[in-house]
Structure 1
């Protein structure tokens, strides 16, 4: 089977690239290994209950946001994003506060919890939001980092504004250094709160998070956070429909097992059933670890050692409880998104940090009247799951610890559960085909962020990569940008106009 572009993976990045490329008239085939579109933003059904597989909190749907801008380019609408006044409720050993979208109210909440440091917290956030604002301007033209061509360099220079020079001093700083500058590094409760936001968005803590990427993430929380009716799988549905309507061929349960390139530059990919595709352009959306397993040795040598080094980087796994619960055990006014922090020493994984995502009372796509669906997730070290004996025992242990944590937000949770599924790392590996069940992409530390990130260009003509291993990183907005970058570069390579 022949096509112009073969895309391995039907997650958000692959579907974004597919929708744009097909709209320009290219023959596009998307090969998705699972039976669902969306990857980590996919879904599954259990009876009358629909569960988002992973990602739940919507970002980038505001006016001028990444998703809104890409939809506008494609001429499609997305009426399913509902803005959140309260981004999330946060339960900590020091007390409870609500993370408000409004900046003034957010600072008031923090000032009430940490009155002794209120002025320092304000000055810290003023600096964070100033950096974040400048980064948002820089990213406005969707430049590529690290630049891998003269055109990339030109795009980056074009994106610079006179005020852009103000972010230069932060390129090699961490959020932790900014905390120290504002004498907040020893205010443990505040650092704990900040770590909780960054582990979910940047996959690392404040001590190690790139100051620029961390500032951008902490700014975006206040630009617009959204509840998506039916779940973030709606994004995959809209993109896959757009791609199909433009003529793309979308194949589920089609798992690309190998890819080679001949001397003429054509790619040959084979799936689990032995079916073969030929294309001059091959796009991989899978984590870098999976990509290396796909390629034959000559292709690995062509892309060099940079990918192998990145593949050795530590990435998180997750364990998620998928619960269907009775409506009457949920207190009035409960935020749809919550974090529960239980460890007094600031641990950010293994059930000490939980992210809760509750379906809206009115969302009939996720649960029938009188019920809600609830996702409860925690980061976990994949080394704790590497043998069957460890796996089975730890799954029970961690489930018990997570339910205890949920009780801090929903005290009657055990009385309300009517359906339960557990998604431990092997389940994630089966569902998404991601090696060992890793999620979230590379942590946005100084070693992996910005100019140290992986470009969508591999250095091999016709071989492109996108997804959460690639700049600008994880999250549906981030992977959408990487998919758009691939589309734009392919169109330029073909000498064609692009949106």
Structure 2
């Protein structure tokens, strides 16, 4: 039997984090990544000599004692990060609402943009802050969900003893939908123009972070998502790829191995030898005692069914439609050009008379160009779309007609921020879920919708197989970068079978 060895399939932030902690704990680690670079959705790609981010551009949890910062410190990883005091504007049909880190500034924004309901909004966000603070207090003890061992039960019981007020404060919200909390402050159902606009703003924030609306969101997860900006959103110098590269260096420094362009064709458990066999091609298979699936998909092989649970009824059915572009700095208004990155969520209007292939909002980000001409600014606009609209077997003419219509809808939304954005740009690139599958080998993006009902069915890192674990945003839901890193850490902790103590320096 192979001892203290693990094969990690998927080299995104979840897989890399798990590998970094396992090598630190003395395990032999092999990471298999089908791309030619690490990071997954935290990586980047080259188009026309420019380096565009594959996914997110903003990180959460990097504040002092923040969840992400704590894990990076334990791994002796330092990244240069800058707090964004005004990270986002939400563009509604009749107003634009700024999201700020400073509570007093945010309160003034509520008073200006929603004057008739500003006091109720302030009380709602104060209550969300209290709920989020309780969740953070419980997260400090590093316990795993669901409870599937006596060790887990012991950690949960000691947490109850150590943080009784946090437990009881959260108990009533565990199965409560967010709309019930809204109704407590007379914000739901929306009746007045201010209430309706506020609900649109909330939906834009929640769909982006927890993949559902105010109507169905879990009160716990909605509170956590809305409190993230108050705690601080950060940009990392060099982009999130810098974080992925730092994890790779930490893994290799501790003796771990990364295999790029490695497509896992078979993952088989040998009961007689008590070991896994991972095949990536004609060469001899890799053997290991444990496997972490950090791909977000079932593994190929006879043991695939035991990892399918969290992605079965809750598989993300939302894809991303994306438009990337390059624009000269001189075409941007000075307030925008001097504060990069800068993001906008532009709520899409209802379309009548023809089908719409997009829903929710367009997320537009302007960011620095890390390649070629520093005077060029890159921009990325993404919107949610149903995966079934982009079936690879669609007739070519239908596919291109839908692509053209969706691109026009995205650019019309972007023009509300910067008129004639496409015309001012020197290059524009359009991608659909088919494009995502070609490069990332999955159509869906983001995690599962975090409704109160779904929260009860989150599977956690363990599977039905005692030596098979999983990591990713479907395992530890929440904002992408932070949830991926936390899920990787929890998977590593479950593999070693005990609580990993985090060094403070």
Specify if TM > 0.5.
Answer: yes
User: Counterpart in 1 of 2:289?
Assistant: 280
- Aligned in 2, Cα 1:220/1:425: closer, same or farther, shift over 3 Å? same
Q: Does 1:126 align with 2:126?
A: yes
What SS class does the counterpart of residue 445 from structure 2 fall into? coil
Q: 1:250 to 1:481 in 2, by over 3 A?
A: same
Q: Is the 8 A contact 2:357 2:402 kept in 1?
A: no
2:449 counterpart (432, 437, 443): 443
Structure 1: how far apart are the matches of 2:284 and 2:14?
24
Q: Quote the Cα distance in structure 2 between the aligned partners of 1:27 and 1:204.
A: 39
Which has the higher mean CA deviation after the structures are superposed, 160-169 or 235-244?
160-169
Farther-moved stretch of structure 1 (374-383 vs 262-271): 262-271
* Stretch moving more, 272-281 or 93-102: 272-281
Higher mean Cα deviation, 206-215 or 382-391?
382-391
1:300 Cα offset (Å): 4.7
CA contact (8 A) 2:179 2:215 kept: yes
Distance 1:143 1:166, change over 3 A: same
Distance change (3 Å), C-alpha of 1:498 and 1:142: closer
TM-score, normalization by structure 1? 0.91
2:489 to 476, 484, 490: 484
Q: Given the alignment of the two structures, is residue 397 of structure 1 paired with residue 405 of structure 2, yes or no?
A: yes
Q: What is the CA distance between 1:215 and its match in structure 2? A: 0.4
Deviations 1:241-270 (A, max 9, x none): 111111111111101122111113211122
Q: Deviations over 1:202-235 (max 9, x none)?
A: 0111111111011011111110101222221111
The answer as to 2:175 corresponding to 1:172 is yes
- Which of the residues 344, 355, 358 maps onto 1:338? 344
| Structure-1 separation of matches of 2:372 and 2:343 | 17
Cα deviation for residue 310 of structure 1 reads: 3.5
In structure 2, C-alpha distance between the alignment counterparts of 1:496 and 1:144, rounded to whole Å: 12
Task: State the alpha-carbon separation in 2 of the partners of residues 349 and 243 from structure 1.
Answer: 42
**Residue aligned with 2:64, SS:** coil
1:307 Cα offset (Å):
4.3
CA shift for structure 1 position 427? 1.3
Equivalent of 1:375, from 380, 384, 397?
380
Cα distance in 2, alignment partners of residues 348 and 182 from structure 1:
34
Work out whether residues 351 and 398 of structure 1, in 8 Å CA contact, stay in contact via their aligned partners in 2: no
CA distance in 2, matches of 1:304, 1:90: 38
1:167-316 aligned at under 5 Å gives the runs: 167-185=170-188, 186=190, 187-263=195-271, 264-272=273-281, 276-287=285-296, 290-291=297-298, 294-296=300-302, 299-300=303-304, 303=306, 306-307=309-310, 309-310=312-313, 313-316=315-318
Aligned partners of 1:12, 1:126: CA distance in 2, in Å? 32
Q: Structure 2: how far apart are the matches of 1:195 and 1:308?
A: 24
Cα deviation, 1:88-138, whole Å, max 9, x if unaligned, reads 122110211211111221122122111111111111111111111111111
Tell me if structure 2 keeps the 8 A contact 1:43–1:53: yes
Give the count of matched residue pairs. 482
**CA displacement at 1:23 relative to structure 2:** 2.1
Measure the CA separation in 2 of the matches of 1:422 and 1:305.
Answer: 32
Corresponding position: 1:327 with 2:333: no
- What residue ranges of structure 1 are gaps of 5+ in the alignment? none
Q: Is the 8 A contact 2:44 2:241 kept in 1?
A: yes
1:147–1:455 contact (8 Å) kept in structure 2: no
Q: Which residue of 2 aligns with 1:77?
A: 78
1:65 corresponds in structure 2 to 66
Cα displacement (A) at 1:31: 0.4
| Cross-structure match for 2:138 | 138
* Distance in 1 (alpha carbons) for counterparts of 2:258 and 2:124: 47
> Against the structure 1 CA distance between its residues 491 and 352, is the aligned structure 2 distance closer, same or farther, given a 3 Å change threshold?
closer
Structure 1 pair 399–304 and aligned structure 2 pair: CA distance change class (3 A): closer
**Secondary structure of the structure 2 residue equivalent to 1:86:** coil
Which region of structure 1 is more displaced relative to structure 2, 471-480 or 325-334?
471-480
1:151 aligns to 2:151 (yes or no): yes
What SS is found at the alignment partner of 1:214? helix
Which residue pairs with 1:7 in the alignment?
Answer: 8
Partner residue in 2 for 1:455:
460
- Summarize the alignment of residues 31-46 of structure 1 with structure 2, pairs less than 5 Å apart: 31-46=32-47
Candidates 406, 410, 426, aligned match of 1:418: 426
* Cα distance in 2 for residues equivalent to 1:113 and 1:348: 29
In the alignment, structure 2 segments of 5+ residues that lack a partner are none
Alpha-carbon distance between aligned partners in 2 of 1:273 and 1:95, rounded to the nearest angstrom: 59
Q: Corresponding residue for 1:87?
A: 87
Alignment deviations for residues 164-220 of structure 1 (CA, whole Å, 9 cap, x no partner): 111111111111221122111201110110011111110111111111011011111
Q: What is the alpha-carbon distance in structure 1 between the residues aligned to residue 284 and residue 357 of structure 2?
A: 41
Q: CA RMSD in A?
A: 2.3
Seen in structure 2, the aligned counterparts of structure 1 residues 250 and 195 have a Cα distance that, compared at 3 Å, is: same
Where 2:439 maps in the other structure, the secondary structure is helix
Contact kept, 8 Å, 2:79 with 2:236, in 1: the verdict is no
**Cα distance in 2, alignment partners of residues 128 and 330 from structure 1:** 36
The alpha-carbon deviation at position 70 of structure 1 amounts to 0.7
